[in-house]
Structure 1
Amino acid sequence: MNRITEQPLDLEALLRETANDASGALVVFSGTVRDHHEGKGVSGMRYTAYEPLAEKVLLELEQETIAKFPIHTCRIVHRVGNLAVGEDSVLIVVRSAHRGDGFDAARYAIDTLKERLPVWKQDFYTDGSESYQDGTPLPGSQAADNSEKG
């Protein structure tokens, strides 16, 4: 399964792919499109990405999470394209011997993903307007350099 896809995310396939008899804990994080953002009603969202770089970032993040925490598996998939309210935009599956390690690893993976992944989110509001959500500038970008100068 690709890490970046236009297809609806398939949790069951991800669970089969990551099955591991040595794991006593399974942690799943699902990010879904919510019906509001900053006080406005949301009717849907569009995710766009530079897919080759996004695939690389997710693979590196999976490997980094496995190296940083005592876990067996970390698998991340992110959807791009138009999504409706309630649809999954990201799935993270972590398998570990113990639940605490799994929860810590999953939190690290989603928090780090939000800082590093080159994915852009465009909200479509119920009033007919739309806007891109503010994100974290990519390291080395002019925006990142300016924010560091404060």
Structure 2
Amino acid sequence: MKILVQDAPFDAGAELNAFTQSQANAGAVVSFTGIVRDLDDGGLQQMDIEHYPGMTERALEKIALDAMERWDLGDALVIHRYGPLKPQEQIMMVATSSKHRKDAFEAADFLMDYLKSRAPFWKKEKTADADGWVASKQEDEDALERW
């Protein structure tokens, strides 16, 4: 299991290749890479992501361990960036491996739902007109109920 919280960009292809090549007994690897989405009007200048070092890594490790226990996983990878990010920059990545695809897909989906609504990151959107904290969405909260 690998958990990275970093301000530096990452190469999703290289991370996925390294993760996949390290999975000797896997029959499936599932990955998801999230990018900073622009606002509907195209006005997002940047998103600032804040976190508490130490606390954030422990929280991500805990949820990844939970996924490893709930599903028959060979391994899990979570990368999440912080700091100022521009639209279209990679913000995070999750990868899971398992002998069978169902476990890999479900665990990755579980990790994504957690990262979207419970991981200790705070996001502020900056536009030419204003700065504002991103509020949680009910649909993200509802997604957690299935787990």
Show structure 1 runs of 5+ residues with no match: 137-150
Query: Matched residue of 2:54: which SS?
Result: helix
Partner of 1:46: 48
Matches of 1:3 and 1:135, distance apart in 2: 23
Paired residue total? 134
The match for 2:36 among 17, 33, 38 is 33
1: CA distance between counterparts of 2:3 and 2:68? 19
Q: Indicate the structure (1 or 2) with the bigger Cα radius of gyration.
A: 1
Counterpart pick for 1:56 among 55, 58, 63: 58
CA distance in structure 1 between the partners assigned to 2:65 and 2:71 by the alignment = 10
**Deviating runs (4+, > 3 A) in structure 1?**
none
Deviations 1:43-70 (A, max 9, x none): 2211000011000011111111110111
Specify the alignment match of 1:81 in structure 2: 83
Give % identity: 27
Partner of 1:140: none
What is the TM-score with the length of structure 2 in the denominator?
0.81
Alpha-carbon distance, 1:115 to partner = 3.0
Instruction: Map Cα deviations across residues 104-142 of structure 1 (whole Å, 9 max, x no partner).
Output: 1101001112332110001112x4322110138xxxxxx
**Cα distance change of structure 1 residues 15 and 54 upon mapping to structure 2, 3 Å threshold:** farther
Partner SS state of residue 120, structure 1:
strand
Q: Which one-letter code corresponds to 1:29 in the other structure? A: F
Aligned mates of 1:77, 1:20 — CA distance in 2: 18
Matches within 5 A, 1:1-150: 3-11=4-12, 12-13=14-15, 15-17=17-19, 19-36=22-39, 41-125=43-127, 127-135=128-136
